[in-house]
Amino acid sequence: MTTSPLKVGFIGLGIMGAPMAQRLQAAGHQLFVATRGKVRPEIAESGMTICTNARDVAERADIVITMVPDTPDVEKVLFGKDGVAEGLSKSKLLIDMSSISPIATKDFAARINALGCDYLDAPVSGGEVGAKAGTLTIMIGGPESAFARATPLFEAMGKNITLVGPNGAGQTTKVANQIIVALNIAAVGEALVFASKAGADPAKVRQALMGGFAASRILEVHGERMIKRTFNPGFRIALHQKDLNLALQGAKALGVALPNTASTAQTMQACAAQGWDQLDHSALVKALELMAAHPVAKD
C-alpha cells in the first residue's frame, strides 16, 4: 500500500474505467479525469477533478492511465490534438490499460519515452465485476522501475498482478487471455445447446459440470448468463471481436495457425451480422442457437 496519495489522471470512464477510477480514489489517490462521452453521475458526484481534455489531465497528474476501446483510440488520446503527449513533462508515467495491438504498443512506448517519460502497457481481465471489486488480473509490460512506481495503483484495482516483460508483453498476454476466454465461451455455449436440444435441463447440466473437470469461471459466470439470458454487456462482443482480430493479425505476422480462434471469431461475426455485437460476449451462444435452431433457454 502507498504511504501517500498520488496525483493520478484517468482517461476513459466507461464500463471498466469508471469503477477502476473509483477504486483508485477509494485508496486515497487524487483523481483527474476525462472522458469523451457524458460523465457518469457516480463520477460527477465523486469529487474527482473533471478535466477538459487529455492534455489537461496530463498537465495536472504525475501518473496518467488510459482505458479506451481500441488501438486508434489510444493513439488519438496520446498523440492527437490536446492529447496526453502535449501535457506531459519529464519523469511522468503513462499507463495504458486498454486492450490494443502489441506492435502499436511498442511504438507508443518509444514515442512516450522520447519525451522523457516511462510507459507501461497494463491490460486487464476480470470484466466489470472485477473492476468494481478491485480483483482484476493485470498483465504488465515495461521497465521494473516504472512497475514499482505504479504498484500501489495496481494493488488498488487488482489482485493477480504480473510484470510479464518489456513493453508489449502485457498486451501480448492479454491477446492470449482473450483467445482462451473466447474459446471457452464457445465451448460452454456448444455444450449447453447440445444438452438442451437433447432434452436435459441446462441449469442442472451446468450445476453438475461445475463439480467436475469441466468446471471453469466461464461455465460459472457466462453459463449462467446463457441460461438466464442476461446479456447486458459486461464485455461486449464487438470488443472481443477486436481482440480476436489482434490475435489473428499477430498469428499471420508470426506464421502461426490459430484455427479455433479463427472459428470463434467467425461465430462472433455471425452475432454481429444479427446486430448482437453490443451484447455481452456470453451472447456468442445466440449464434450457436441460431445454427442449431434451438435456444438454450427462452429469452
Element (DSSP H or E) covering residue 29: none
Q: Which of 174, 228, 242, 298 is catalytic?
A: 174
- The residues facing 158 across adjacent strands are 136
CA gap 188, 206 in Å, rounded: 9
How far, in whole angstroms, is CA 12 from its chain's centroid? 12
As a whole number of angstroms, the distance between CA 99 and CA 122 comes to: 8
Residue 213's CB is within 10 A of a number of other CB atoms, namely 6
* Whether the Cβ atoms of residue 71 and residue 100 lie closer than 8 Å to each other: yes
b (16+ CB within 10 A) / e for 247-282: bbebbeeeeeebeebeebbebbeebeeeebbebbbb
Question: Is 7 designated active site?
Answer: no
Buried b (16+ CB within 10 A) or exposed e, 43-65: beebebbbbebbbbbbbbbbbbb
Kindly provide the b/e burial profile for residues 146-176, where b requires at least 16 CB atoms within 10 angstroms of the residue's own CB.
bbebbebbbbbbbeebbbbeebbbbbbbbbe
Helix (H) / strand (E) element for 9: namely: strand 7-11
Nearest one of 176, 188, 174 to 123, comparing CA atoms:
174
- C-alpha cell of 207? 450445476
Residues serving a catalytic function are 174
